[in-house]
């Protein structure tokens, strides 16, 4: 996900006081516990139980975590049985999904949909109008109380996933979930894919997909989220 990584680093670099470390997984537990803030943009990266417990303890102590797009995904492509060829979302990391507040289940084909503001008075979305994006519309299994900030109405079932049915209705797009003194801000938008991002599954993907990254409002939401992260006072 080089494009997303670079764009997030550029946004963080707008404040020269922010010092950033980048990791491919969650297994540097000391880095988690030493962090003032965390941003994740991953797909099918599941922390070990020890890392999940470190994230839980870090949040309870006051950590703020901005989780983006596929952070809540656990995916396996089935090769046998009646669902062969479909993507499954096994419930292998219940602590992780409880921390995040949701687990990805499926999405319909990438197509335009309208995102509306669920809490217009909240600073993270105040002044933002409803907007249309062409992105992955996440169907999710939600966990615990979520303070929904953005949402969308889904009229299409998922395709290519085991749990593709019964996904119609209202789905959160961006929300907050509190944990002790800390909190998670989750934003499902921001699918991106370049020609080489599906290796080793595919050597070449024929299109370059940028989805919500093409919208100024998405960068506004990212900057607001980073500002929310920085409201947490650094550790002494």
Domain ranges of the chain: 2-230
Does 234 score more than 70 pLDDT? no
How many percent of the chain have pLDDT more than 90? Answer: 92
Name the band, by pLDDT with cuts 50, 70 and 90, for residue 167: confident
State pLDDT tens for residues 169-226.
999 999 999 999 999 999 999 999 999 998 998 999 999 999 999 999 999 999 999 9
Does 236 score more than 80 pLDDT? no
Asked if residues 193 and 131 have their Cβ atoms less than 8 Å apart, the reply is no
- The stretch 78-102 carries a mean pLDDT of 97
d(CA 172, CA 185): 12
d(CA 74, CA 147): 23
Asked if residues 18 and 167 have their Cβ atoms less than 8 Å apart, the reply is no
pLDDT in the model for residue 235: 56
| DSSP code of residue 41 | E
Range 2-230: architecture per CATH: 3-Layer(aba) Sandwich (3.40)
């Amino acid at each position: 996900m080089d494009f997303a990584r670079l764009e997030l680093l550029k946004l963080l670099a707008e404040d020269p006081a922010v010092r950033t470390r980048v990791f491919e997984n969650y297994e540097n537990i000391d880095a988690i516990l030493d962090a003032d803030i965390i941003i994740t943009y991953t797909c099918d990266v599941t922390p070990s139980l020890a890392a999940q417990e470190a994230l839980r303890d870090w949040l309870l102590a006051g950590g703020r975590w901005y989780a983006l797009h596929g952070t809540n995904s656990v995916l396996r492509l089935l090769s046998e049985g009646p669902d062969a060829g479909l993507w499954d979302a096994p419930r292998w990391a219940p602590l992780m999904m409880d921390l995040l507040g949701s687990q990805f289940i499926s999405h319909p084909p990438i197509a335009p949909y309208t995102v509306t503001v669920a809490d217009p008075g909240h600073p993270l979305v105040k002044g933002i109008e409803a907007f249309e994006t062409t992105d992955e519309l996440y169907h999710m299994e939600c966990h615990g109380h979520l303070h929904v900030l953005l949402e969308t109405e889904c009229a299409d079932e998922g395709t290519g996933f085991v749990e593709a049915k019964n996904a119609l209705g209202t789905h959160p797009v961006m929300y907050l979930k509190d944990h002790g003194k800390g909190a998670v801000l989750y934003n499902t938008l921001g699918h991106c894919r370049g020609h080489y991002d599906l290796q080793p599954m595919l050597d070449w993907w024929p299109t370059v997909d940028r989805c919500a990254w093409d919208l100024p409002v998405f960068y506004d939401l990212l900057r607001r989220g980073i500002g929310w992260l920085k409201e947490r006072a650094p550790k002494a």
